[in-house]
A = this chain, B = another copy of it.
Amino acid sequence: MIRISIDAMGGDAGPSVVIPGAAKALERHPDATFLIFGQKDVCEPLLAQHPKLREKSVFHHCDVAVGMDEKPSAALRRGRNVSSMWRAIDAVKQGEADVAVSAGNTGALMAMAKLCLRMLEGVDRPAIAGIWPTLRGESIVLDIGATIGADAQQLLDFSVMGGAMARALFEIERPTVGLLNVGVEEVKGQEEVKEAGRLIREANFSTIDYRGFVEGNDIGKGTVDVVVTEGFTGNIALKTAEGTARQIAELLRAAMSRTLLAKIGYLFAKGAFDALREKMDPRKVNGGVFLGLNGIVIKSHGGTDAVGYAAAIDVGYDMVRNALNEKIAHDLKTYHANHQPNQGPEEAA
């Protein structure tokens, strides 16, 4: 049994997407149970439309819903202890749920998750990991926007956490990891990235297969299972790729409706186009995973629909089933037992 807590008020559409999304996820994972936090008057009629979900869930009314554009500080002031977002996270802390899912505003969700769950021992700062469709399948990219900037040690932590997530999600033993940089030569790039490369190489992890630097075009190729970068660059890379995909889709659509021949061709090839669209469907890879906290929190895209929201729940479900946080904690513990960077080498165990 996997217990999922849901912030029903998060997302552009709120409960009208979240509750049908949870119902869809339940169809795929009949062993899941739900704790749903939200405003009674909106949620209850929707739950009534999904009797199977209602049967497998406990609903908790919350007066406060965090706004999609609310500043994290304001959200904390107004929503701590009482908002649906906070309470969904807190259920994980209290051991009542295994994972929390929210489509609410990222900044507020991260602020609340940090305050409520606290950092995993040995982790300096959290990261948001995204799942990126590639030519080889899927890769993990982190940090896609938890914080701006990261030093070498933090990039090393991201490698360990991303590696653990790849093992949990793709069920591979020793995922390949690359550091995002502007060139593959060891001499190029940001100082932090070069230093992180040295640290990761020296650490000689048994759990990840470090492959050195990768460039922006390697992400889509699927050159490595895990691409590590700091949150500013990661966020811009992600949104640039989304923008490019949308741009090409739009050009393709326009091209296929411009001439009669193209329209006929489109009809013949419709099955192929549909398969391609399905493959590139951004809803299928919805779900950013907050890594580095004492508990798993999944951020769904705020503008997704029920299909996308269900995919975010799927990600959370997989992370719990494959013991993501135990893997991260274990890997970090092993690393820190051998390296004590803050104490100087003479005191290392």
Contact = CB atoms under 8 A, between A and B. Distances in A.
Interface of A: 69, 71, 134-135, 145, 148-149, 180, 182, 185, 187, 189-190, 215-221, 229, 231-233, 235-248, 250-252, 255-256, 258-259, 261-262, 264-273, 275-276, 279-280
**Residue among A215, A219, A248, A279 having the largest count of chain B Cβ atoms under 10 Å:** A248
Given A219-B243, A251-B280, A252-B276, 12 more contacts: A135-B247, A216-B235, A216-B243, A220-B246, A221-B247, A240-B244, A244-B245, A259-B271, A259-B272, A261-B269, A262-B268, A264-B265
Nearest to A258: B272
Nearest to A180: B236
A235 B145 CA distance: 18
Interface of A is mostly: helix
A251 B215 CA distance: 21
B244 A241 contact: yes
Nearest to A72: B187
B240 A237 contact: yes
A182 B268 contact: no
Contacts of A265: 264-270, 272
Copies in the complex: 2
A300 B272 CA distance: 36
A253 to B, nearest CB: 10
A276 B251 contact: yes
A248 B251 contact: no
A232 B215 CA distance: 11
Contacts of A268: 261-262, 264-265, 268
A140 to B, nearest CB: 15
Contacts of A238: 216
Given A239-B216, A268-B261, A273-B255, A232 B134 contact: no
A157 B271 CA distance: 50
Contacts of A189: 148, 232
9 contacts: A71-B187, A135-B250, A240-B240, A241-B241, A244-B245, A255-B273, A258-B272, A262-B268, A262-B271
Contacts of A232: 182, 189-190, 233
B276 A272 contact: no
A239 B180 CA distance: 11
B269 A244 contact: no
A102 to B, nearest CB: 18
B145 A182 contact: yes
B239 A217 contact: yes
A100 B148 CA distance: 38
Contact of A255 (B148, B149, B272): B272
A181 to B, nearest CB: 8
